[in-house]
């Protein structure tokens, strides 16, 4: 049985994650969009690690001021840090200064652990229709099924057991996780569909007749723009009379349900277990917290923020912050929660809780 990686290797078990480097601090700073503090050495770095466990060959970062004490005690060789906290960087540790340390960390970590490149070719166990167009640089894994007239762009990676339906188009450098299925969809560049996701299935549409339910044909598509990520086991229904659209750069977490005709704008964040009912529009930069539910035929304005477990039943204006079910302005909701807590905490203990007889209740029963 293998053992966990030692502190010398930092983050990223080599059995699972590609490694690159070492890199000089100057190269790391360039990748992170930062600069090395004046007068400091251009040290060589071989990996990344948290402040608490980093060694002199590692890069680390500080984004949350609550961990400033960990910064002062770190043994990291270099650290990404905001200009306001440079004075807390210990001697011997190179300060890489950036106004956005966490963004710099994301970029620098990708420098040490880049996404593995595709291994071009079609696995012998894959089933690919003769009419499908597969770019020779794409990787098609075992037991993949690719339907008629599908198009797979350059540098795509399709994991084992995935199904790409008839006519589906994947733009360059898409990654499709194992056992995902995609139908009735057109994907842009660098789209990542995580394992088990379902894209393009029929939406939940039916009419009620005298003898029961009659399904309404779902004749739209799913359009996913560039740089979108769709989490594991999430579902995006195709449109009924129009297309379902996921805007550029949007991030969708695991276990999210998106109904037919939904239109999500650019750079939205949809957290796990959210449900969005059909024909609702989310404008650009909307953030939806986990387990929130949004009713159908609504508009959620640009940069609105919906707290976790919100129940949204009406349109939300741009920039609003909403919470509760039914959702209301967050400040109002939390005032109500605080008032209710004060009422409960200040209430006299009930007679039942103290074991005293409840004479008024007995009297009421006698009256009855």
The answer to whether residue 43 sits within a structural domain is: yes
The domain of 304 spans 180-205+216-329
Mean pLDDT of the chain: 92
How many beta carbons lie within 10 A of that of residue 56, not counting itself?
A: 14
Q: Global pTM?
A: 0.87
pLDDT in tens, 199-231: 999 999 999 999 999 999 999 999 999 999 999
pLDDT in tens, 252-296: 999 999 999 999 999 999 999 999 999 999 999 999 999 999 999
pLDDT in tens, 81-123: 999 999 999 999 999 999 999 999 999 999 999 998 999 999 9
Is 80 exceeded by the pLDDT of residue 360? Answer: no
Residue 14: is it exposed, middle or buried by C-beta count within 10 angstroms (0-12/13-18/19+)?
exposed
Residues 61 and 185 in one domain: no
Query: Catalytic one among 113, 184, 260, 359?
Result: 260
The answer to whether residue 368 sits within a structural domain is: no
What percentage of the chain exceeds 90 in pLDDT? 84
The answer to whether residue 168 sits within a structural domain is: no
CATH number at residue 86: 3.40.1390.10
Residues 197 and 87 in one domain: no
Report strand pairing: 175-176 vs 206-209: unpaired
Residues 106 and 187 in one domain: no
Strand arrangement, sheet containing 198-199 = 127-128, 145-146, 163-164, 181-182, 198-199, 235-236, 257-258, 275-276, 293-294, 311-312
pLDDT class of 346 with cuts at 50, 70, 90: confident
pLDDT, position 351: 52
> In total, how many domains does the chain have?
2
The answer to whether residue 165 sits within a structural domain is: no
Residues 108 and 184 in one domain: no
The answer to whether residue 240 sits within a structural domain is: yes
What percentage of the chain exceeds 70 in pLDDT? 92
359 part of the active site: no
In Å, how far from its chain's centre is CA 86? 31
Is 80 exceeded by the pLDDT of residue 368? Answer: no
Residues 184 and 316 in one domain: yes
The answer to whether residue 286 sits within a structural domain is: yes
pLDDT in tens, 10-68: 788 888 999 998 999 999 999 999 999 888 889 999 999 999 999 999 999 999 888 89
Residues 199 and 61 in one domain: no
């Amino acid at each position: 049985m293998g053992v966990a990686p030692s502190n010398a290797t930092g983050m990223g078990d080599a059995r699972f994650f590609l490694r690159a480097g070492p890199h000089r601090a100057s190269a790391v700073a360039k990748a992170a969009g930062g600069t090395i503090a004046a007068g400091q050495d251009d040290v060589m770095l071989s990996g990344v690690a948290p402040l608490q466990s980093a060694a002199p060959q590692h890069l680390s970062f500080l984004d949350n001021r609550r961990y400033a004490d960990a910064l002062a005690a770190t043994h990291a060789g270099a650290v990404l840090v905001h200009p306001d906290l440079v004075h807390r960087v210990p001697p011997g540790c190179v300060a890489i200064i950036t106004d956005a340390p966490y963004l710099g960390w994301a970029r620098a970590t990708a420098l040490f652990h880049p996404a593995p490149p595709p291994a071009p070719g079609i696995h012998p166990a894959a089933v690919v229709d003769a009419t499908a167009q597969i770019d020779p640089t794409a990787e098609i894994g075992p037991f993949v099924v690719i339907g008629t007239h599908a198009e797979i762009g350059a540098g795509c990676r399709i994991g084992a057991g995935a199904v790409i339906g008839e006519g589906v188009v994947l733009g360059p450098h898409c990654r499709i996780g194992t056992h995902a299925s995609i139908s009735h969809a057109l994907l842009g560049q660098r789209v990542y569909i995580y394992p088990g996701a379902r894209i393009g299935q029929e939406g939940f549409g039916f009419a009620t007749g005298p003898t029961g339910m009659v399904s309404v044909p779902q004749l739209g598509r799913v359009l996913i723009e560039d740089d979108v990520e769709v989490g594991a086991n999430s579902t995006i229904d195709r449109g009924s009379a129009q297309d379902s659209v996921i805007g550029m750069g949007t991030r969708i977490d695991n276990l999210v349900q998106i109904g037919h005709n939904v239109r999500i704008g650019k750079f939205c964040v949809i957290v796990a277990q959210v449900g969005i009912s059909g024909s609702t529009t989310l404008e650009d930069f909307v953030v939806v917290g986990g387990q929130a539910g949004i009713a159908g035929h609504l508009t959620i304005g640009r940069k609105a923020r919906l707290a976790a477990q919100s129940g949204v039943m009406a349109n939300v204006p741009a920039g609003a912050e909403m919470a509760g079910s039914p959702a209301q302005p967050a400040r109002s909701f939390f005032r109500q929660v605080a008032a209710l807590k004060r009422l409960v905490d200040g209430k006299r203990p009930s007679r039942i809780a103290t074991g005293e007889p409840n004479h008024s209740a007995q009297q009421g029963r006698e009256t009855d």
